[in-house]
């Protein structure tokens, strides 16, 4: 497939007012996407999409522009208001719509925003459909005849529908009675949803990061800034803390002592619990998944595969292999036996299921998982440098990997956003990782 002009690995994203995240582009995008969807669903007189958004002030502008574009193309629009990204995926599938649209920049600050699409199956839009939309964006903006215009209406019960869906992913035989939980929604899309989910399952809930003002999304709270949650859990003597990001597809958790657990550890707890219910043939991680996780999967007899960084690629690998569980260290966790996409609330419920079903603390659940010390250093890279062909770097990499053996690994990859090379070494001991990274840093990348 040719290089995409607008779509990245997670939709279209940028600074508000820039070349893409503005009202004019959103209008054209809605029209272009609508034209493509009408073509792919010729049997439907008025194909329909749902639009959800997070709490950024710019969401109102982009929502209105997208709505106008879809209507001009003859596509009906259901407006869900502020709603987590995975909630839009669920509604798209539950309401039998042709696509879902999310206006969000996830964990980024408020001055960024983005637009991404879900297919009618509640999964990321296929690459070939995104390519068609990009091609259609180059065509003039038009409008169908008045009698063919799409209609728009609001879904007043969108939040309630999603709350019930989240609760349905928790075993009916279990509850959260007696559990004290602090929920941090990052002043984002789950501010009016996450506390209700855990409260309605019986937990004693303290909500923080649930007062959005259009500008404070992810600011000092949520999965990107868990310090506030850690303090709150300790201060209140809570049993567990749950941190989401701005669009609620990312999760970190905190135990009663204030210890923070990342995506690798939480995925391990989920997988171990599922293994008590039936076989788990394999798990998908990414290039950044801790080496300790990979080694422990081997101990458990579970196949492990590394996908490229990005939950999109984790999902693609899971579907190709027919597996159900995967995720990223950052907290994007996929449980395809519960949902079609990564979901922070649903993932948290699966971790709580493991705790309650086993009667063990989160610390005890992951006690067999030894996380390897990881050192990452960014080094400047002259634009255009073919670092993969750099003989000195190639030799140093081989030497470090030989030094580590089965006690660690080396990962070198170029940044996708700046002229830098990311060097990473993991090892069983911190000193071994430091030795490895020092050896890589000694390479002169200016001398090819």
pLDDT (tens digit, 9 = 90+) per residue, 188-227?
999 999 999 999 999 999 999 999 999 999 999 999 999 9
168 annotated active-site: no
What's the angle, vertex CA 290, arms to CA 11 and CA 411, rounded to 5? 75
Domains 12-156 and 374-441 share a fold: no
Report whether 271 contacts 302 (CB < 8 A).
yes
Superfamily of domain 12-156: Alpha-D-Glucose-1,6-Bisphosphate, subunit A, domain 3 (3.40.120.10)
Sign of the four-CA dihedral 314, 315, 320, 326:
positive
As to burial, measured by CB atoms within 10 angstroms (0-12 exposed, 13-18 middle, 19+ buried), residue 301 is exposed
Looking at residues 36-41, what average pLDDT do you find? 93
Per-residue pLDDT band at 321 (split at 50, 70, 90):
very high
Q: Please report, for the chain, how many H helices and E strands are present, in that order.
A: 14, 18
Structure tokens at 229: 């949650």
Confidence of residue 1 (pLDDT cuts 50, 70, 90): very low
Q: Which CATH architecture group holds 162-365?
A: 3-Layer(aba) Sandwich (3.40)
Beta strands in 48-201, from DSSP E residues, in sequence order: 48-53, 76-82, 99-103, 112-119, 152-154, 180-184
Please give the span between the terminal C-alpha atoms of the chain, in angstroms, as a whole number: 31
pLDDT at 406 over 70: yes
pTM of the model: 0.93
Using one digit for the tens of pLDDT, what is the confidence trace for 42-63?
877 889 999 999 999 999 999 9
Which pLDDT score is estimated for 3?
67
Q: Where are the domains of the chain?
A: 12-156, 162-365, 374-441
pLDDT at 32 over 80: yes
Closest of 126, 125, 122, 102 to residue 114, by C-alpha:
102
pLDDT band at residue 445 under the 50/70/90 scheme: confident
Q: Sort 158 into a burial class: Cβ within 10 Å, 0-12 / 13-18 / 19+.
A: buried
User: What confidence tens digit (pLDDT) does each residue in 335-379 have?
Assistant: 999 999 999 999 999 999 999 999 999 999 999 999 999 999 999
Question: Residue 292 has what DSSP assignment?
Answer: H
The tokens of 386 are what? 């073919």
Q: How far apart are CA 205 and CA 238, in angstroms?
A: 9
Q: Tell me the pLDDT tens digit for each residue of 92-119.
A: 999 999 999 999 999 999 999 999 999 9
- 100: tokens are 């879902």
Separation of CA 242 from chain center: 15
Q: What is the pLDDT of residues 262-314, one digit of tens each?
A: 999 999 999 999 999 999 999 999 999 999 999 999 999 999 999 998 888 99
Q: What is the largest CA-CA distance in the chain?
A: 71
**Torsion angle, alpha carbons of 278, 284, 290, 294, to 10:** 60
Digit-coded pLDDT (tens) for 286-295: 999 999 999 9
For the domain made up of 374-441, the CATH class stated in words is alpha beta
Residue 329: predicted pLDDT: 94
Q: Which residues contact 200 (CB under 8 A, 6 or more apart)?
A: 163, 167
- The answer to whether 180 touches 237, Cβ cutoff 8 Å, is yes
| Average pLDDT of span 10-31 | 96
In terms of Cα–Cα distance, which of 180, 188, 186, 207 is closest to 196? 207
**Residues 168-188, mean pLDDT to the nearest whole number:** 98
What are the structure tokens assigned to 259, written together?
Answer: 């210890």
Active-site option among 71, 106, 317, 329: 106
Neighbours of 41 (CB within 10 A): 16
Q: Is 43 exposed, middle or buried (0-12, 13-18, 19+ CB in 10 A)?
A: exposed
Mean pLDDT, the chain, as a whole number?
Answer: 95
User: Model confidence over 72-86: pLDDT tens digits?
Assistant: 999 999 999 999 999
Q: What is the pLDDT of residue 444?
A: 85
pLDDT of residue 2: 52
d(CA 33, CA 136): 8
Q: What band does 416 get if pLDDT is binned at 50, 70 and 90?
A: low
Percentages of the chain per state (helix, strand, coil), in multiples of 5:
40, 20, 40
CA distance 106 to 125: 17
């Amino acid at each position: 497939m040719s290089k995409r002009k607008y779509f990245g690995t997670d939709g279209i994203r940028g600074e508000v007012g820039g070349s893409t995240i503005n009202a004019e582009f959103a209008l054209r995008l809605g029209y272009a996407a609508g034209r493509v969807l009408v073509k792919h669903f010729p049997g439907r007189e008025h194909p329909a999409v749902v639009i959800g958004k997070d709490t950024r002030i710019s969401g109102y502008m982009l929502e209105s522009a997208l709505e106008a574009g879809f209507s001009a193309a003859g596509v009906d629009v259901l407006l869900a208001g502020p709603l987590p990204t995975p909630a839009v995926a669920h509604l798209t599938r539950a309401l039998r719509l042709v696509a879902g649209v999310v206006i969000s920049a996830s964990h980024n600050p408020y001055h960024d925003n983005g637009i991404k699409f879900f297919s009618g199956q509640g999964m990321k839009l296929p690459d070939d459909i995104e390519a068609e939309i990009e091609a259609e964006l180059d065509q003039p903006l038009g409008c169908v005849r008045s009698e063919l215009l799409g209609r728009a209406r609001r879904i007043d019960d969108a939040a309630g529908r999603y709350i019930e869906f989240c609760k349905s992913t928790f075993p009916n035989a279990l509850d959260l009675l007696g559990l004290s939980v602090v929920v941090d929604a990052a002043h984002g899309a789950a501010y009016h949803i996450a506390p209700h989910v855990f409260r309605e399952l019986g937990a004693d809930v303290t909500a923080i990061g649930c007062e959005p003002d259009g500008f404070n999304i992810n600011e000092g709270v949520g999965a990107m800034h868990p310090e506030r949650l850690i303090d709150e859990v300790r201060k209140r003597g809570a049993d567990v803390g749950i941190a989401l990001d701005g669009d609620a597809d990312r999760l970190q958790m905190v135990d009663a002592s204030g210890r923070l657990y990342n995506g690798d550890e939480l995925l391990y707890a989920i997988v171990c619990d599922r293994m008590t219910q039936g076989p788990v043939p394999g798990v998908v991680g990414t290039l950044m998944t801790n080496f300790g996780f990979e080694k422990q999967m081997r101990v458990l007899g579970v196949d492990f595969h590394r996908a490229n960084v990005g939950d999109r690629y984790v999902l693609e690998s899971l579907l190709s292999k027919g597996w159900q569980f995967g995720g990223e260290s950052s907290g994007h966790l996929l449980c395809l036996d519960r949902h079609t996409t990564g979901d922070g609330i649903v993932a948290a419920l699966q971790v709580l299921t493991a705790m309650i079903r086993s009667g063990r603390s989160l610390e005890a659940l992951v006690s067999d998982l030894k996380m390897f010390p990881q050192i990452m250093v960014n080094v400047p890279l002259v634009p255009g440098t073919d670092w993969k062909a750099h003989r000195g770097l190639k030799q140093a990499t081989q030497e470090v990997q030989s030094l580590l053996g089965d006690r660690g690994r080396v990962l070198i990859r170029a940044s996708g956003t700046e002229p830098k090379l990311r060097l990473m070494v993991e090892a069983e001991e911190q000193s071994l990782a430091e030795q490895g990274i020092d050896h890589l840093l000694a390479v002169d990348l200016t001398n090819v």
